[in-house]
Chains A and B, each alone.
Chain A
Amino acid sequence: MFYDKATLIFKRLLLAIPTLLGVLVISFSLTRALPGDPAVYFAGPMADEASIQEVRVQLGLDRTLVYQFITYCKNLAQGEFGQSLSTGQSVGSELSTRLPASLELTLFGLFLALITSIPLGILSALKPNTWIDHLCRILVTAGASTPIFFSGLFLMFIFYYILGWAPSPIGRLDFIFLSPPHVTGFFTIDALLDSDLETFYAALSQLILPAVTLALCALAPIARMTRSSMITALDSEYVKAAKANGIKSSVRIYVYALQNASLPLLTVIGLVFGFLLGGNVLVEKVYSWPGVGSFAIDALVASDYAAIQGFVLIMAVLFVTLNLIIDILYTLFDPRMGRNE
């Protein structure tokens, strides 16, 4: 069985390669789809003919498309994403400084979503078609229908402007605090590692509103899937047979049913992460969060195509990696995956 699992995992890893290749092709073709000469775009509006030619040679734009693609991949392998027009820095360094900010936000938002929506889904499933169930479903659907930017603005209005509970939305940390020594890049974790509780709380309080905004949009799919897969599991023949054999209801619900229900749940979490990565961009704009999302928005305004391309690529790579991890977890947890299909 172990050997089967190991081969399956290896096969999944292999399967990810053509996907990554496709991702590279698409992000490459994004900029090649621009009308006109890409070199002009990359060199920027201030460039003169000489620098445009330089850019042209650097990117291999005078050669064939295939050569350009290979050059592109080679550059990526060296961490070379191009120059950002709007900030003057290399896109690679911008992305790497800003990525931890976005990740901290997204992961915390996912965490908040999970700890609320899973119990909600289980509760709904245990009492289907009662008023509790209907209430949960309506709340959850309402949450899913709300545009992220709207809920972000609204939460900010209520909790900052009216109630004054939340700090002003100007970024990750208030001016009076220094950012903690860099270990992971996550301010909250780094502050804890540095035993600096004040900074930790400050970072956390800046983080809460944007994370809750993100969590709101992730609630619905997770709660819905938890509910339906729990209902399917609870209705299944093996749970009924377990009941007939006298197995206690808590064991039936939390061991038998929940274990079986957690498999489709894993897949939904992967899907939700995609929504969150996209929603990240909007939340970062609303809360002025200095992550890759706001970097991309500034790049859009400035027609900074190298930056846009780098942004799209990095988000895709993150997403593919997460889905791969989920696939592997799924393979490990579902014993049926060892079999010849």
Chain B
Amino acid sequence: MTTPAGASPGPSVVLAPALEMRGITKRYPGVVANDAIDLVVRPGEIHALLGENGAGKSTLMNILYGLARPDEGQILLDGADVRIAGPADAIARGISMVHQHFMLVPVLTVAENILLGAETMANPVFLDRDEARRRIRELGARFGFEMDPDAKVGSLSVGWQQRVEILKALYREARILVLDEPTAVLTPQETEEIFTVLKRLAAEGHSIIFISHKLYEVMEIADRITVIRRGRVVGTRIPSETNEQDLAELMVGREVQLTIDRGESHPGKAALEVTDLRVADDRGSEVVRGISLEVRAGEILGIAGVAGNGQDELVEALVGLRRPIGGTIRLGGHDVGGHSPRAMNEAGVAYVPADRHRFGLILPFSIADNVVLTSYYRAPFAHGWVRDDDEINAAAEVAISAYDIRTPSATARAGTLSGGNQQKLVVAREFSRDLALLVLDQPTRGLDVGSIEFIHRQVLAKRDAGAAILLVSAELDEVLELSDRIAVMYRGALVATVDGRTADKYEIGLLMATGGRERGAEPTAGVSSGGTP
């Protein structure tokens, strides 16, 4: 029944696949999320699905789980063609999913969470809670841990919540278990423990689909690895016949990127000095763990890293949206740690957010109002409390022509603009003044090539005008194209820093995915301005 890890899974193996997805295609407006994807998962196999964020892994799994319907393609379970109508149908067919963001109700107990939707009944009305407790304990024991069925889920650590999710699947007697980035929120120890559980599950004949972008993890856990890039399958590998470099190349891609001439940078004196900065996320766990860095006037420091390694919180702390829990932020020699967004703004910090619909723009407002979003209260846009619409509209007209924003008028709502023009609007506002520090968080996400190039040129122009620029992006190409220096962020810390011009893409990709632990690279606590080799 089981396929031992490392055994040759060639075509000679006659075992029928537990799951086969054939030619799955899913289009969203403007994006092909899945493009004729084939995936074969055998019984007892841990099959890793490897790819960057946005490569289409989650879409594929949502299709498998009935949360999205494919435009083309078919799904076969044990060789039979099936249509999966929804989560309930998927569960009934033995497919269970552990979502990246846990689907647990914090105020309910472990037993209640596990029972939900698959209730064990004592009679037609009441739950059989004793039987449920017994089965939960038994299942836990079978896979090597002791679960208290009556604990409130909200009081459990993330690692234990993960186990509850897995028990949820086992309780439903799932044969195919999908785990979406299961280790994203776990400590290394917790990760090891979960891996032990997963290996036992596979040994009992469960098929496991393990979604990840962490190379060393899939090398450690998977029997086979399918790599997806931009909605397509670009290869399937067996860990014993591949290595991390090979996988990184597959995952990131080899295609030559159009590059613009970035010119020489002439760094001046330090504009931003961050020392031992620590920041917590909304749930209170420390996700920026003691970062120190320095950005000099007239240079671009790129922060490369897989999304979710603390970049968002770092950026929010730098622009005043999030109060640090420790460390200092100095701007031009003055301590600005914990200052309000407006104080940061007045100190010369500009910010292009990753999610322009959240922090960047007020979509129901006019273009003109968005142009003055951070300066509406001071001259020349206001005299005392009274707004000066003439000045505001004049500034908007200037921004529209200077940044080539395609719109019928300055009074049009920002929400009516295309994505590229919306981003140009954000850039127009943030760039149109003297800057001490420019914080760019994935500034070209979701844009067309023309807009990307335009924004890149503006960034370089700001650098040459003497602004210190911090560029955070999960798009490695973008970081490589613009940065004078590149620091790699991994699990809330900077693990390495390299020269932007000589940096090797695969080396950085590897650092992003592994934090440098496989290669034995020197993790550096901070990045000094002289950190170039």
Our verdict on whether A and B bind, yes or no, reads: no
